[in-house]
Amino acid sequence: SKFKDGLAKTRSQFSGKINDLVSRYRKVDEEFFEELEEILIQADVGFETVMEIVEQLKTEVKKRNIKDPADIQSVISEKLVEIYESGDEKSNQLNLQDEGLTVILVVGVNGVGKTTTIGKLSHKLKQDGKKVMLAAGDTFRAGAIEQLEVWGERVGVDVIKQAEGSDPAAVMYDALQAAKSRNVDVLLCDTAGRLQNKVNLMKELEKVKRVIEREVPGAPHEVLLVLDATTGQNALIQAKTFKEAVRVSGIVLSKLDGTAKGGIVLAIRNELDIPVKFVGLGEKMDDLQEFDAEKYVYGLFS
Ligand code: GDP
139 pLDDT above the threshold of 70 = yes
- 8-state DSSP, 159: E
Mutating to test ligand 1, I would choose from 154, 190, 191, 283 the residue with most ligand atoms within 8 A of its C-beta, which is 283
CA–centroid distance, 125 to ligand 1, in Å, is 19
Query: What pLDDT, in 10s, does the model give residues 240-286?
Result: 888 888 899 999 999 999 888 888 888 888 888 888 999 999 999 99
CA–centroid distance, 183 to ligand 1, in Å, is 30
Mutating to test ligand 1, I would choose from 112, 154, 254, 259 the residue with most ligand atoms within 8 A of its C-beta, which is 254
CA–centroid distance, 62 to ligand 1, in Å, is 45
Report the chain's terminal Cα–Cα distance, integer Å: 11
Rounded CA-CA distance 28/25 in Å is 7
Quick one: pLDDT at residue 86? 67
The predicted model scores a pTM of 0.89
- 301 C-beta neighbours (distance < 10 Å), count: 16
Strands 158-160 and 288-290 come out as unpaired
Q: Which of 218, 262, 258 is nearest to 43 (CA)?
A: 262
Quick one: pLDDT at residue 34? 96
Which pLDDT band holds residue 189 (cuts at 50, 70, 90)? Answer: very high
**Which amino acid, residue 237?**
I
88 pLDDT above the threshold of 60 = no
